[in-house]
Amino acid sequence: MRTLMTCGLLLTALAGCSSSPVPVYPVTGQVTLADGTPVQTGTIEFTSADGVYTARGSIQRDGRFSLTTFRENDGAVAGEHRAVVVQVVSTEDLPLHDHHHGPTIDPKFGHYRRSGLTFTVQPQPNEFQVTVTAVTVPDPAKPGGSKQSR
């Protein structure tokens, strides 16, 4: 009898671990530049309007992502969200060189107040197209000119 009670308590505890404190809904999408070029590296993050819940996902080489709040790829809570796209760039001159990690995005997309990215997660599977701009670097061929990183 004691073993049966212990097993029952264990199963109840495990069941509680698998449920989220609030419902979440699948969120997937793609991060691209305006011309459709996929952003190949980085992280995308959605934070609920009240700032309580944050969902994150790694950006894959094709620009695709899937968000995680509590368990891998479970999604995000329903409602309005602010979003950021963050890339780690190890040197200031990286956008000036050819590199294999795809376009370097404008750093403003890494800040909630400046990114301008907002999304509404519905209580259903959600698919979002996230459009960002590349960092602008001086074009050495043009005095005072600039070009987008590729």
Least confident of 9-13, 54-58, 98-102: 9-13
Q: What is the C-alpha R_g of the chain?
A: 20
Q: Residue 20's pLDDT band (boundaries 50, 70, 90)?
A: confident
Domain range holding 62? 23-148
Write down the pTM of the prediction: 0.76
Q: What pLDDT score was predicted for residue 7?
A: 40
Structural domain contains residue 2: no
Lowest mean pLDDT among 60-64, 72-76, 93-97: 93-97
Scanning the structure block, which residue is given the tokens 């950006």? 59
Residue 93 in domain? yes
Tell me, what DSSP letter sits at residue 39? Answer: P
DSSP string, 63-83: SEEE-BSSSTT--B-SEEEEE
**How confident is the model at residue 148, as a pLDDT?**
52
Residue 149: pLDDT over 60: no
Q: Is residue 115 part of a domain?
A: yes
In the chain, the number of structural domains is: 1
Query: 147 - beta bridge partners?
Result: 137
Helices (runs of H) and strands (runs of E) counted in the chain: 2, 9
Both tokens assigned to 133: 């701009």
Confidence of residue 103 (pLDDT cuts 50, 70, 90): confident
Q: CA–CA separation, 86 vs 31, rounded Å?
A: 11
CATH number at residue 53: 2.60.40.1120
Q: Is there a domain that residue 106 lies in?
A: yes
